[in-house]
Amino acid sequence: MVKGGNIYSRPDHDLSLATPPNPSSEGGLFASARDKRTFLYIFSLALDLLALVLGYACALQTRDAQWLSAGGHSILFIALPLFLMFEIARETQDAETLQNRLLGTKRALGALGATAFVIVGISFLFKVDEISRIGFAITFGTAAIFLIVSKIILDRVVKLVMGDVVVATILLLDGLDAVPEGSAVVVDVGAQGLWPDLDRPDMIDALSRLIAPFDRVVVASQYDHRAEWSTFLKGHDVGGEIMLDRDLLHGAVALGRYDRRDTIVLSRGPLNLMNRVQKRALDLVTASAALILLGPLLLLVALAIKLDTPGPVFFRQLRVGQGNRQFSIYKFRSMRVEASDAMGDKSASRADDRVTRVGRFIRRTSIDELPQIFNVLKGEMSMVGPRPHALGSTAGNELFWHASQKYWLRHALKPGITGLAQIRGYRGSTERIEDLELRVRCDLEYLSEWSLWSDIMILLKTVRVVMHKNAY
């Protein structure tokens, strides 16, 4: 018997669980918890920057602007970027500080103090004498007071926007009872016969869509399913935990607590907020630029495809994306319509008679992949990441998720138009299981060592492998 929380049930094996319950109809805030936190992060950062501006404005009431400048530049314009940098470095805006006003205040004051220290150091190093000590002290002293006030305001806004739920939690019951804490959403997936059967991509997709709006997933699972839950959670883009009732770790990254019992934390999500913002910004800038620069080429290719063979310009195929959720990928159609492979059961070969004349050229030059720019702009893909595979893809005679036990782990980030495996030459058909294992190894290396600089370098190196002996 499950007590408390919000319980959702559906008929047996109803994969409409792929559409998450709408907590807003239940009075909850879970469906958009991440979006609301993002708004609160921006609001918090704006308040902090405003506090510094107001501190400078107060200083202007006692000293002229010329006494609050260095080398002809206002100390405000020097302090703001420094303060922003220290705020980001100290993670002043995150879920933890939204829940704990005192912690948020300490981090913000620390960032302000570091800013003041750097400006003092620069003034001493370059022998800047025109800065008024009193004006400087008033600027940062009153900014500190405004920062404290801003955190009180933020605390009220957080409660107004999110209530008591800053981190959205879902409790999945799969054969083990548990009492939900607070306002956690509860779904008895075991009663539906739904669990992460690694041979059933439809079940993986359904569960992935169910947990996608949440920050924390706690699974109360029967013992026999825990290895599969472990693989599923570690390949997802949210924090995942399995509740313990015996000693079984499955490669946990930490220990947690739920319902007065230990949980094993299997994932934290691959990137923090600022890393996700940086990666998405790079995607939007590069995809938009590519669309503008390559627009004429895209139109010419579309025209050539229409003139070459009857049928649509674009080919859409279901692929496995971030968090193992499925999406439709866009490509230029390179095969005859009647021979198109919607599930990707058969990889193209060098002398494949399904490929059209135009298709052979655009596949050899990788031009057929360019429409995936639209997937990037839609947020389904990234410019750099593990390549998304079709559900029917095989290595040798084995489906990908049979051929590699770590296959599902590669989907913790958005799939990419290019990736580490591609610039290392791992392209084309996977005729042997070893071909897939090499790619999975590269994908997991990319996930564990991600940086914005690595994305930029992969994009630059991709130019060398646009035309490749395995591209056909």
75 plus 106 within the same structural domain? yes
DSSP H or E segment with residue 218: strand 216-221
Domain limit, last residue, from 147, 162, 177: 162
Q: What is the pLDDT along the chain (472 residues), one digit of tens a residue?
A: 343 454 444 334 455 544 444 444 333 444 467 788 888 999 999 999 999 999 988 988 887 766 667 666 778 888 899 999 999 888 888 888 888 889 999 999 999 999 998 888 877 776 666 677 888 888 899 999 999 999 999 999 998 888 777 888 899 999 888 888 877 889 999 898 898 988 888 899 999 989 888 888 999 988 888 888 988 888 877 888 888 765 455 555 566 777 777 676 766 666 777 788 889 999 999 999 999 999 999 999 999 999 988 889 999 999 999 888 899 999 999 888 876 666 655 655 555 678 888 988 998 888 999 999 999 999 999 999 999 988 888 888 888 888 887 888 888 889 999 999 988 888 777 888 888 888 988 988 888 888 889 999 999 988 887 765 555 4
Q: Is 1 within a domain?
A: no
Our count of domains for the chain comes to 3
Could you count the other beta carbons within 10 Å of the beta carbon of residue 96? 13
Residue 309 lies in domain? 273-465
255 plus 281 within the same structural domain? no
pLDDT of residue 275: 83
54 plus 124 within the same structural domain? yes
355 plus 419 within the same structural domain? yes
pLDDT of residue 188: 93
Task: Please give the C-alpha separations between residue 362 and each of 333, 357, 466, 472, in angstroms, as whole numbers.
Answer: 9, 9, 11, 9
Q: Is 95 within a domain?
A: yes
341 plus 391 within the same structural domain? yes
Which sign, positive or negative, has the C-alpha torsion 268, 272, 275, 276? positive
Domain limit, last residue, from 202, 234, 267: 267
Tokens, residue 291: 């669309």
Q: Is 338 within a domain?
A: yes
pLDDT of residue 350: 56
Pick the closest to residue 344 from 315, 373, 383 (CA basis): 315
183 plus 324 within the same structural domain? no
Q: Is 242 within a domain?
A: yes
Could you count the other beta carbons within 10 Å of the beta carbon of residue 225? 20
Pick the closest to residue 98 from 111, 83, 108, 84 (CA basis): 108
pLDDT of residue 126: 65
Which sign, positive or negative, has the C-alpha torsion 262, 172, 382, 89? negative
360 plus 445 within the same structural domain? yes
DSSP H or E segment with residue 360: helix 357-364
Alpha helices per DSSP H over 28-100 = 33-60, 75-89, 95-99
First and final C-alpha spacing in the chain: 57
Domain limit, last residue, from 162, 179, 212: 162
pLDDT of residue 2: 41
Pick the closest to residue 270 from 241, 242, 236 (CA basis): 236
Report CA dihedral (408, 411, 415, 421) to the nearest 10 degrees.
Answer: -60
pLDDT of residue 344: 58
93 plus 131 within the same structural domain? yes
411 plus 332 within the same structural domain? yes
213 plus 254 within the same structural domain? yes
85 plus 119 within the same structural domain? yes
Pick the closest to residue 319 from 416, 455, 229 (CA basis): 416
Instruction: Compute the distance between CA of residue 75 and CA of residue 94 in angstroms, rounded to an integer.
Output: 28
Q: Is 230 within a domain?
A: yes
Q: Is 123 within a domain?
A: yes
Q: Is 470 within a domain?
A: no
196 plus 172 within the same structural domain? yes
